[in-house]
Structure 1
Amino acid sequence: MSITSHIVRTLFTIGDLKRDLGWKKPRNVDSVENISYAEDDKWHLLDVYRPRKATELLPVIVNIHGGAWVYGDKKVYAPYCMYLASRG
């Protein structure tokens, strides 16, 4: 890994840790994690977050992690995705 990649990874990690400090999963959100969508169960996994008491059809938001193999994974965006689900 290059020094630039290492610096980016470190700074982003610090920022994410500060952002998510004290964060708790919303009570009105259900989640199903690590759903396999291809034969490779290691890399092809998705998480679904939805409002707990939803009875009607809702729009879908697809969040794709694009860390360029330098930083993060889908867990980095879990708080944001749960926030969106909590809003319906």
Structure 2
Amino acid sequence: MGLFFIKCKEAGHVCDKHQYEEASTKEKIKLNIHLMYCSACRKHSATNKKLSQLIKKIQFQFLSSEEKEQLKKAFEKELQKHQN
């Protein structure tokens, strides 16, 4: 392929890198050129972007070690009730 033309496989890889701000300027240019003529990769890029935006919006909450232990004990207690 030419200097700025890439295959779909490479475009997908660059798309993923771009979502995490790891793509170089040259890679971004190649990706944009590829997206102009490849509808499948445009769709992949749009879906990838939406997924990344959704993940950024999620507010993850984690249990502390103490909360995990309490949950484990409560589960084991309930399990014992149903095994007898």
What's the TM-score, normalizing by structure 1? 0.27
Structure richer in helix, relative to its length: 2
- Larger-gyration structure (1/2): 2
> Could you tell me the TM-score, scaled by structure 2's length?
0.27
Higher RCO (CA-CA < 8 Å; seq separation 6+): 1
Q: Whose strand proportion is higher, 1 or 2? A: 1
